[in-house]
């Protein structure tokens, strides 16, 4: 519980990225938790910057901070391959099982951001091939 409280009071990688390549929003309509995940990705697919902002319960905000903390420097493919088990390992099965939607909100939003980045890259490649 100390880890959760620390990440809630002092979130890591918190704040919007003005120059983000992708901003993805996620939320839990039932309880009002909102998270935005920002990714800045290099031309070779390395995540140079990752951050989040949002509001909501301690578990959703601390969970996002904990999950995103060690993802900077990984590739988009690595992020795509990360399983939801990262949430269980970070927060503990007991805590996650009490409020899974809150616990996984940051993780799920990060996954959506990865998909959005991939979609934008595919569209860009199609556009380049039409113009090239």
Q: How far apart, in Å, are the Cα atoms of 112 and each of 5, 27, 35, 38, 95?
A: 26, 12, 12, 11, 23
117, HSE (Cβ side, Cα atoms, 13 Å): 28
Residues 6+ apart with CB under 8 A from 99: 57, 59
- Select from 3.60.15.10, 3.90.1010.10, 3.30.530.20, 3.40.220.10 the CATH code of 2-122: 3.90.1010.10
Among candidate residues 115, 32, 104, 29, the one with its CA nearest the CA of residue 80: 115
Domain assignments of the chain as residue spans, ordered by start: 2-122
pLDDT reported for residue 130: 85
The string of DSSP codes covering 101-130 is HHHHHHHHHHHHHHHHHHHHHHHHHHHHHH
Q: What is the pTM of this model?
A: 0.93
pLDDT reported for residue 28: 87
Spatial distance between the Cα atoms of 71 and 48, rounded to a whole number of angstroms: 9
pLDDT reported for residue 128: 83
What are 68's two structure tokens? Answer: 């995103």
Could you tell me how far CA 25 lies from the centroid of its own chain?
9
User: With 70 as the cut, is the pLDDT of residue 132 above it?
Assistant: no
């Amino acid at each position: 519980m100390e880890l959760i409280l620390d990440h809630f009071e002092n979130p890591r990688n918190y704040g919007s990225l003005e120059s983000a390549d992708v901003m993805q929003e996620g939320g839990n309509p039932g309880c009002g938790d909102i998270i935005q995940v920002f990714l800045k990705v290099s031309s070779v697919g390395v995540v140079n910057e990752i951050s989040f902002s949002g509001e909501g319960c301690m578990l959703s905000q601390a969970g996002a901070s904990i999950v995103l903390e060690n993802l900077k420097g990984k590739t988009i493919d690595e992020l795509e391959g990360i399983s939801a088990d990262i949430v269980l390992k970070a927060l503990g099965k007991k805590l996650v099982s009490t409020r899974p939607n809150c616990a996984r909100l940051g993780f799920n939003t990060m996954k959506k951001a990865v998909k959005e980045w991939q979609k934008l890259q595919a569209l860009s490649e199609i556009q380049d091939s039409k113009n090239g």
